[in-house]
C-alpha cells in the first residue's frame, strides 16, 4: 500500500470514528433529554393527583374521585404514586388506596405478563399491597419469572399475605435466590409470620430439599423464635446419619438461641466432632443451653482446640455464660489457650484481674 493510499484510509477511518463518537454523544443527549422530560411529566402528574389523594385519605373525597382524575396513558405514573403511599400506609388508608386503584387494575393484570421486568415488578407490588386474595393467585406464577429479581418480589408479596398456602410454593423456588444468601432468604420467610412456622419446620425435615432451602427455613425459625423447632432440631442432629454440615450448623445456631438444658446431650456430642465448623457451633450452643459444671469444663477444654476459631468461640462462650473468672484464670498462662483468653477478654473490654 502506497503512502498516499494509507493516508487516505487513515483519514477515512478517523472520519468514521469521529462520526460514531458524535453519533453516540447525540444519542446520549437524546436519551437524557427524554428521561428528563419523562421525569418532569411524572412530577407534574403527581402534583395534580396528590392533593386529591390527601383529601381522600382524610375522607373529603371518595377513592372513585381520585381514580377519575387519571387519563389515558397516565396509569403508569398513577400506579407509582399509589405504590409510594402503599409502602408507608396500612389499615384503612391502605384500603382507600385499594379502592382508588380498583378501576385501573385491569391494566395491572396485563402488566403481569409485560415484556419489561420493571412493569411486572410494579404489577406485583400493586397486587400485593392493594389487591385481594384472588389477586395473590395471579402473582404466584411469577415465582418462576425469568428474572430472579421479579421472582423475589413475587415471593415477598406472597409472604406479606401470611397465608400458609403460599409457604411451600415459595420454599420450592428458594434456590433461585442463592445469590441473596441465607440471611436474606430467611428474612423473606419470616415475613410470613410465626403462624407459618409449622410449615417451615416440615420443609426442614424434607431431606430432598437443597441445603440452601433447609438452612434458610431453619434460620427463619430461629429468627421467629419458634420453640417447638428446638425438639426437632435436636432429633435431626442426633439421627444417623445427621444432616449435612451446613444444615447441622444452622440447627446448632437454632438450639443456641431457642434450645434448653434438655437439648444439651446432642450438643455435647457434637463438641467432639471431627468437623471444625460443627465443633465451633456446638461449643457456642453448649455455653448457651447448659450451666452444668461438667459442661463448663468441656468448654474450658475447647480453649486448647487445634482450631483457633473454635478456641475463640469457647472463650466467648465462657463470657456469655457468666464464667468470666474461669477465662481470667487461663489468661495468665503462657500457652496457646492463654493467648486466646487474653485476646477475647481484651476484645470484650474486660480486664484480667481475678
CB distance 155 to 173 below 8 Å: yes
pLDDT band at 4 (very low <50, low <70, confident <90, very high): low
Residue 54 grid cell: 390527601
- The confidence score (pLDDT) of residue 247 equals 95
Of the candidates 178, 229, 238, 240, the residue with the CA atom closest to the CA atom of residue 204: 229
Residues 6 or more apart whose Cβ sits within 8 Å of residue 165 = none
Instruction: Name the residue with cell 454523544.
Output: 25
CA 94 vs CA 47, 130, 287: distances in Å: 20, 7, 46
Mean pLDDT of 176-199: 90
Q: How far apart are the first and last CA of the chain?
A: 90
Q: What is the pLDDT of residue 230?
A: 95
Cell digits of residue 204: 426442614
281 pLDDT above the threshold of 90: yes
* Residue 9 pLDDT grade (very low, low, confident, very high; cuts 50, 70, 90): low
Closest CA to 257 of 281, 291, 293, 292: 281
Confidence of residue 266 (pLDDT cuts 50, 70, 90): very high
Query: Which pLDDT value is given to residue 258?
Result: 95
CA distance 171 to 199: 10
Ranking 241-250, 305-314, 339-348 by mean pLDDT, the lowest is: 339-348
| E strand map for 247-304 | none
Query: How far apart are the C-alpha atoms of 252 and 26, rounded to whole Å?
Result: 60
Burial class (CB in 10 A: 0-12, 13-18, 19+), 280: buried
pLDDT confidence bin for 24, thresholds 50/70/90? low
240-259: pLDDT as tens digits: 888 999 999 999 999 999 99
Summarize the confidence of residues 273-296 as an average pLDDT: 91
CA angle 288, 293, 296 (to 5 degrees): 50
Amino acid at each position: 500500500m502506497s503512502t498516499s493510499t494509507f493516508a487516505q484510509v487513515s483519514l477515512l477511518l478517523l472520519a468514521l470514528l469521529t462520526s460514531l463518537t458524535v453519533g453516540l454523544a447525540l444519542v446520549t443527549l437524546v436519551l437524557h433529554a427524554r428521561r428528563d422530560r419523562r421525569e418532569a411529566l411524572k412530577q407534574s402528574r403527581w402534583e395534580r393527583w396528590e392533593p386529591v389523594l390527601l383529601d381522600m385519605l382524610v375522607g373529603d373525597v371518595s377513592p372513585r374521585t381520585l381514580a377519575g382524575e387519571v387519563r389515558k396513558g397516565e396509569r403508569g405514573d398513577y400506579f407509582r404514586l399509589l405504590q409510594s403511599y402503599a409502602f408507608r400506609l396500612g389499615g384503612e388508608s391502605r384500603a382507600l388506596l385499594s379502592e382508588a386503584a380498583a378501576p385501573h387494575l385491569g391494566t395491572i393484570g396485563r402488566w403481569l405478563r409485560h415484556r419489561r421486568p420493571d412493569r411486572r415488578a410494579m404489577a406485583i407490588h400493586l397486587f400485593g399491597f392493594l389487591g385481594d386474595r384472588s389477586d395473590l393467585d395471579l402473582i404466584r406464577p411469577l415465582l418462576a419469572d425469568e428474572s430472579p429479581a421479579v421472582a423475589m418480589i413475587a415471593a415477598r408479596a406472597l409472604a406479606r399475605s401470611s397465608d400458609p398456602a403460599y409457604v411451600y410454593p415459595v420454599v420450592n423456588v428458594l434456590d433461585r435466590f442463592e445469590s441473596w444468601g441465607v440471611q436474606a432468604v430467611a428474612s423473606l420467610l419470616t415475613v410470613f409470620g410465626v403462624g407459618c412456622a409449622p410449615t417451615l419446620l416440615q420443609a426442614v425435615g424434607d431431606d430432598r430439599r437443597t441445603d440452601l432451602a433447609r438452612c434458610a427455613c431453619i434460620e427463619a425459625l430461629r429468627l421467629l423464635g419458634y420453640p417447638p423447632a428446638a425438639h426437632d432440631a435436636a432429633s435431626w442432629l442426633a439421627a444417623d446419619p445427621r444432616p449435612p454440615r451446613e444444615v447441622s450448623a444452622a440447627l446448632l445456631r437454632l438450639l443456641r438461641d431457642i434450645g434448653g438444658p434438655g437439648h444439651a446431650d446432642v450438643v455435647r456430642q457434637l463438641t467432639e466432632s471431627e468437623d471444625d465448623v460443627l465443633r465451633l457451633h456446638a461449643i457456642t450452643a453448649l455455653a448457651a443451653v447448659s450451666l452444668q459444671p461438667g459442661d463448663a469444663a468441656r468448654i474450658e477444654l475447647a480453649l486448647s482446640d487445634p482450631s483457633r476459631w473454635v478456641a475463640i468461640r469457647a472463650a466467648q462462650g465462657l463470657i456469655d455464660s457468666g464464667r468470666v473468672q474461669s477465662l481470667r484464670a487461663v489468661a495468665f498462662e503462657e500457652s496457646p489457650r492463654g493467648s486466646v483468653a487474653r485476646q477475647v477478654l481484651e476484645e470484650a473490654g474486660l480486664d484480667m484481674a481475678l
